[in-house]
Structure 1
Amino acid sequence: MLGINVDQGLTYSKHCEIWRQRVFARIRILSQICTRSWGSSFRSARQLAEQFILSSALNGSAGFYGGITAKKNSRELDTAYNSIMRLVSRCLRVTDFEKLPPIVGWDSLEDWVQRRAAHLAHMVLRQKQITPARSLFSQDVVNKRKRKKLRGWRDLSIRFLPPSLYPYIDQVPRRLEPWLFPRVVFRASSCKKNDTYIEKRMAALETLASVCQDSKDGYRMVWEIWSDGSVESTTGHGGSGGAIWSSDRIEPFWSLSAPAGSIVPSYNAEISALVCCMDAFLEIVIPKYISAKDAVYIVCDSLSVFCFCNLILIICILI
């Protein structure tokens, strides 16, 4: 669970090197996404950075406690954490790193690691543990006196944690199992970039007809997430717009638009529109209106955005 890697000298040098590679690889990706040319909001960048932190070396693994005691090993991770906060907050390098945590809304790296480690320990203690008596049975131990002595050992619970760890335990709300999430379908039309207007129109009509047909195939409701970005010839910058439709409404359930020339280039405008639509879908629709019997469709006119939808959806669901 803790993922400790030690070398022949029983040190964490190799483990820290793996940390460094993973952390800085995610920082390079984050630096590309959090730049202003992508049009990502502060909240979206912050959520994405949190997921990168939880999936990297800053995930509170046991070896980091060795890194805290050895300043040489923890210095690079502290630098990486400060770089992530600087990217999310978009503060200049002259800004003191001690002012970054209040701006981003995070704790220090050491508090983050302690809280994460305490939460992992709490989740493990909530599960049923193998008692010493059962372990004796599995090993075919026949000493009845010793077996009776260990029978009073019971399952662990939160009361076995030190009281100092209570403030660090995050009460995570219950999540649906993956198989209970609403079905999400990705589908690309057969038109090409050089096709005529009539061919593109026919491909769009076929796709829309399939969406309408799926609403009758055993689904309680069909949700459609529309997003698009455009470019204006005089400025070279695009606008974006998005809407969420449901099969039981005539008007859009939620919509948002930005005029051309005000945000970013065309492709990036499509990405930002898709991110805004996914944020609204996860924050507004899923908590109150969604059901496991619903179908969800993401509709866009760009193949590149269609390929990028998988990454955006996975990140949003994890958040």
Structure 2
Amino acid sequence: MRVAGEKTQALVLSQWARDASRLSIRVAGAEVTGGTTLRLLGVSFDRLLHFGAHCNELRKKMRPRTAHLRRMTGRSWGLTERQLRTVANGYVRGALEYAAGAWLPAASESHLTLIDRELRAAARVVTGCLASTPSHALMAEAGLPTAHMCRDIRAARQLALAASLPAGDPLRTLADSSPPRRLAATLGWRDRGREMFARLSPGGEPLIIEERLHVSAPPWQDGGEVSFHLDVGPDGSRDRPPELRRRAAEERLESFPADATWIWSDGSAEEGVHRGGGGALIVTHDGATREVRVAAGRLCSSTRAELFALRAALEDLTSTPDRDTARPIIICLDSKAALALLKNGPTAQRTPVAADIWKALQGISATGQPIQLQWVPAHCGLPLNERADGLAKEASALPQEDTPIDVTTVTRAAARSASARWREAWPDGWHREIWGSRLPGPVEGEDRCSAIDVHQLRAGHWSCSEQYLHRIGRRPSPGCEQCGSVRCPAALCRVCREEADTPRHVLLRCPALAGRRLARVGTIHPTVTELQDDGVVAALAAGFRAQLSRLATPP
């Protein structure tokens, strides 16, 4: 290998500036002078690894993207709010995500604040909120995570990815080691990832990360005689009554051979994210049954628990001596996501549990047994499915400490943890009264103007409010140029003149809107939590504007 000295860069990592002064080395006959930053694969490193220069470059990259987003917000032709959120998360925030696992966990607090400033600019475009809107309400209404949340999530994901590598891999060795830190004030992905792992495991037990699937099935490999059925007809949809769903499932199941071997599997997870368990019921042609229970991990989704149950059932079936290989096998699951994942075929699987299931299916199919996997609706009264569900709930109580957790599950758990910590830190106020610790979704079914009113009213800063305009100096009066008091006469509601037209007054107390409240909510005194309904807030905002329009129209 020939080293190009003219392309070589040098940087000293040290807390002492004198270590980096007058650095000069010779590489391949060229003199290389140490600089203040070093650029590697699009990331700018500095002497203290605070990544200030890189964050400044990111800000320059995010600003034009935010401007592009702003051009998509036409009131008559622009994108819907759900689409604006998608563009903001993928296009604007995408600039932040490049190589974030390497630099974001180590970035200093002051530089993360600069990134948050650009994210708030994108959030104002999505929601139409004012510049003075509290940051927590603004980011919540826009559905955008903060830079600090992204940092914790990326650190946990990077550590999980490193831990999923085989033993002896250099990156895994680095993740498992604990060398002394030369830069005492800088934390990297390893230390921040361990902090996140500790939050995800309050009991102190270490998280065992599942080793990733390093060798997938070759693309020419045939799936064998395995077929998938992901519906039972139109009556099987969730909006149909349980009786119709059960009848549709029974009619579909009657079309299968009666003398087949049946596997009914199900997965369970507390709140869909904790203590996973898989249960399966194996019914042979002569009516004999076997029960299977398996722990799926302390952090687990119901889909992953279902895959654990199916793998355990197939292992139990194939390990049975003298099993009947002349009869077909019917597998019934109530997780459409798990079936859709497996239906992609053996070459598309990216997790060991799914790959193991396909190996078992191919092994059974090689003996000449046809296999059919059928989705059945859950909780509609199918007896065998209910028994499998009970087994899964029993399995969730099994010891979970030794069950490995995959990288995707750890990343999602870290995202939930970071979001929960952020929401718990919200200050008390109007927005928290409405939402508590929940996150609002996008405003649906309203035009852009109405959606902006909804966001501004729930965030507490409304551009139509006299009190707000007086506070920022846009509505001075002879007696008061500008103040923030809600008792100031210049801040009185122009419709009722009873008190300041704060969002609380407009939505809950203004007597001129009593009829609108009664029509929308059924009472003239709605609760604060009823303002979570976008339509209610939009209707009251439209009613208030109509009252102002009447006042402005001469008789």
TM-score of the two chains, using structure 2 as the length reference: 0.23
Asked which structure has the greater RCO (Cα within 8 Å, sep 6+), the reply is 1
Task: Select the structure of larger CA radius of gyration.
Answer: 2
**Which one has a larger percent helix, Structure 1 or Structure 2?**
1
